[in-house]
Amino acid sequence: MKLINIIIFVVLLLIVSCNNAPNKITSKNDYNLYLNVDKNEMLQLTMEDYMFWKKKLEKEPDQFPYLAKVAASQSQLFNKTGEIELLIKAEKSLIKANKMTNYSKTSYLRSLARNYISQHRFKESLELLKKAERIGENLESTKKMLFDVHLELGNYKLAKSYLDAFGNDNNDFDYLIRLSKWSDHRGDLDAAIKYMEQAKVIAESSNLASTKQWVYTNLADYYGHAGKIKKSYNHYLKALEIDNNDAYAKKGIAWIVYSHEKNADEAMRILNSITAYYNAPDYYLLKAEIAEFKDDIDAREAAMKLYAEVVNNKLYGNMYNKYNVLIYAENQLKRSDALKIAKTEIENRPTPQSYDLLAWTYYNHGNVKGALKVMENHVVGKTFEPETLFHLAQIYKANGEIKKAKNLKKQLLESTFELGPLMAKNIQNI
């Protein structure tokens, strides 16, 4: 009888454990073939394109169209490798092309503006787009980019005015993806998904590989935010079918494996396969977070050291200011640096998210009243970003605004996948 009771107990324990475990969504069989790709065909094709235009430019250095082609290839190479030097080289090529045309060709102005967006130099991008708008050539393309930049700068009324100026054309891919972005900004995730799904139909009918890849990864992000993890996973896989080396899609799968399935070792294996060929500082931060989740202090410190070494490259400029503030704010020896960078971000990009960085720095300094004042003046009701709302909840709690903190806690518990297991633990303590 004792043996039977023990067997029954073990079976019941297994049933309970299975019921409590998160539903497994991923399968190594789905993505393993993308982790050890011997040949990066897309990168090779881009490199060949770059060399073709580079040689033509060397023969005829006064041909500014060749400069623009070289810059386009350099930008694509940056997207596929994460090497910041390539983005800066593309900038130099575009500056030269604009100088040769006396800053009169709007397509070149937009290309340089797009490069500055990638570098988080939004105000400089805006000036170029204003110039392109005054010239007037291909005005709709310029206005679409003006929407993008105004949204990044927190000029929301201006952004909306440009969005409205496009008209209400549900067959226009560029309009739909911006309407999706605007809906996400307003906190209407269902609408953001709906419009991106409409854009997906157009992308698939046009059958342009790069457009489909972009839509799939953006939809995957939205699905993840909405808790539709299976759909998110499937769309990252769709992107990888197009480009086997899509680092962003692989990172998305790594996040699902880590945040949803709590399989830290497998998530780390995926990330290691990415960082073997793709170099971007934030990947090391994710490695550090996963190591912390595993209580592997040595691995966490090693990843943070690699991040510091990579991001120390001055070519990154302000691209990683947000990450640096969040790291420095919690380091007593670096808090003055955090404050300085947060204020720089507000100067460059006065969005609610930038003000959140300042408030979070004040909070970590012990200035909880100052933190609350910044939040109330510049953040509350102006953003729906879960990380910002988590900071707001902590600041409310520190100021004795317990009811407000608890109300945010309910909302944050719905965003634990997006925020990750480490922050999920902190949410429980609000």
pLDDT tens string 184-223? 999 999 999 999 999 999 999 999 999 999 999 999 999 9
Q: What is the pLDDT of residue 201?
A: 97
pTM surpassing 0.85? yes
| pLDDT band at residue 397 using 50, 70 and 90 as cut-offs | very high
Q: What is the pLDDT of residue 169?
A: 78
Mean pLDDT (whole number) for 23-48: 90
Residue 412 Ramachandran class (φ > 0 left, ψ -120 to 50 alpha, else beta): alpha
Statement: residue 149 has pLDDT above 80: yes
Q: What is the pLDDT of residue 22?
A: 57
Mean pLDDT (whole number) for 93-106: 97
Torsion of CA 216, 218, 220, 224, to 10 degrees: -170
Mean pLDDT (whole number) for 99-121: 98
- Tell me the CA distances in angstroms from 136 to 158, 178, 320, one per residue in order: 18, 21, 34
Q: What is the pLDDT of residue 223?
A: 98
Q: What is the pLDDT of residue 166?
A: 85
* pLDDT, mean over the chain: 94
Statement: residue 428 has pLDDT above 70: yes
Statement: residue 6 has pLDDT above 50: no
- Tell me the CA distances in angstroms from 52 to 69, 81, 115, one per residue in order: 10, 19, 22
Q: What is the pLDDT of residue 10?
A: 41
Q: What is the pLDDT of residue 116?
A: 98
The whole-angstrom separation of Cα 269 and Cα 274 is: 9
> Does residue 180 contact residue 196 with C-beta atoms inside 8 Å?
yes
Torsion of CA 169, 208, 79, 420, to 10 degrees: 70
Statement: residue 305 has pLDDT above 90: yes
Residue % of the chain over a pLDDT of 90: 91
